[in-house]
Amino acid sequence: MSIEIEVPRQRSETGQRRSQLGTRVLTWLAVLVAFLAALASLLPLYWMLVGSFKIETNAMSVPPEFWPYAPTIRNWSKLLFGESPTWLWLLNSLVVAMGSATCAVLTSALAGYVFGKKVFPGKTFLFWLVIITMMLPKQISLIPLFLLMRNLKWINSYQGLIAPAVAYPFGIFLIKQYMPTIPNELMNAARIDGADEIQIFTKIILPLAKPAVGALAIFSFVNAWNDYLWQLIMTNDRAMFTLPVGVSKLISQLSNYDLGLAMAGATFAFLPMLIVFLVFQDYFVKGITMGSIKG
């Protein structure tokens, strides 16, 4: 890669010093703006959390309370122990996200390994098919998939919610990208030592591909958790709602929009993802970069 650098004409000593000062001021100004943007980015989440502890009249007060002066847990108790099966929704979401992630990790690790390390007829075609579907908007298959689920009588069922996530093109791609980092000599040595194909996969590939598998597990989990459109059309039984679907219906069905309850619901739907993110933060960052940059 050739890089052309245009050299500006030498400026006088004092001019250069002055412009250096100017650059430094600009740099700090930019950092300040970035910091304010970061606060603005966090503000909605803070507002949600604070709102969930406000009583109705205070949630609607003008000027708004930046800190709840009369904090209440009424919204939370209404959400968690009220008439809506919130805990069941949480369970449904966990089952769907964990089921999807488990299936996606298994199928993608196997397929990614094969695409990365094996030679076989049809490989190029199949891999391009995977790449293409990865880039296509999902909505093109939404209706036939829904009709298929209806024919299978899988509406309002875990298997229906999980099925489209079992094969995960991005996951296959991610693992395939990671394979060159695992030396072939290691696999050959194991083969000479009498290891069979399954052992090579479980004893060498999986442990060495752990960073990629970890990122894959988290991505598929988060993806499945957030696949709102699919969950929305696949469930009409209140007991089968996932947490995001349940919370969103809770809000849209309120005749008199209860802000405190809405904020508690949103916070509750956010918490599991927040925990996953904080625990696996490194995997998130690595995984995002892994998917885009080779090596």
Partner 1 sequence: MLSTLPRRIWAARWAYLFLLPAMVPFFVFIVLPILQGLGLSLYDAQLVARQFIGFDNFVALAKDEVFRQAILSTIYFVVGVVPITVAIALLLAVTVFPLSQGVQSFFRLAFYLPVVASGVVLSIVWLYIYHPTYGLLNYLLSLVGIPRVEWLGRTETALPSLALVVVSWTIGQPLILFLAGLGGIPLDLYDAASIDGAGSWARFWYITFPLLKPTTLFNLITQTIGVFQVFVVVLLMTRGGPMNTTQTIVYRIYETAFTFFHFGYASAMGVVLLVIVGLVAVAQFRLLGQEVEY
- What's the CA gap between 86 and 125, in Å, rounded? 45
> Shortest distance, CB of residue 143 to partner 1, whole angstroms?
5
- What's the CA gap between 67 and 51, in Å, rounded? 9
Nearer to partner 1 (CB atom), residue 152 or residue 186: 152
- What's the CA gap between 116 and 182, in Å, rounded? 10
> Do 273 and 244 form a contact (C-beta atoms < 8 A)?
no
Q: Where are the alpha helices (DSSP H) in the chain?
A: 13-51, 56-59, 74-81, 86-117, 123-135, 139-151, 158-162, 169-178, 184-192, 197-199, 206-208, 210-225, 228-234, 243-253, 259-279, 281-292
Question: Which positions from 113 through 142 interact with partner 1, judged by CB under 8 A?
Answer: 113-114, 118-121, 126, 129-131, 133, 135-142
Question: Which positions from 64 through 83 interact with partner 1, judged by CB under 8 A?
Answer: 64
DSSP state of 63: S
Question: Which positions from 7 through 26 interact with partner 1, judged by CB under 8 A?
Answer: 7-8, 10-11, 19, 23
Q: Is 94 in the site for partner 1 (CB under 8 A)?
A: no
Question: Which positions from 266 through 295 interact with partner 1, judged by CB under 8 A?
Answer: 266-267, 269-270, 273-274, 276-277, 281, 284-285, 288-289, 292-294
CA pseudo-torsion sign 145, 148, 149, 150:
positive
| Pair of tokens at residue 43 | 């503000």
Interface with partner 1 (CB under 8 A), residue from 44, 82, 180, 183: 44
> Shortest distance, CB of residue 74 to partner 1, whole angstroms?
17
- What's the CA gap between 226 and 243, in Å, rounded? 10
Nearer to partner 1 (CB atom), residue 88 or residue 233: 233
Tell me, by CB under 8 A, how many residues bind partner 1.
105
Question: Which positions from 196 through 255 interact with partner 1, judged by CB under 8 A?
Answer: 197, 201, 222, 225-226, 228-229, 233, 244, 247-248, 251-252
Question: Which positions from 154 through 193 interact with partner 1, judged by CB under 8 A?
Answer: 163-164, 166-167, 169, 172-173, 177
Interface with partner 1 (CB under 8 A), residue from 41, 124, 151, 256: 41
Residue with tokens 């030396």: 183
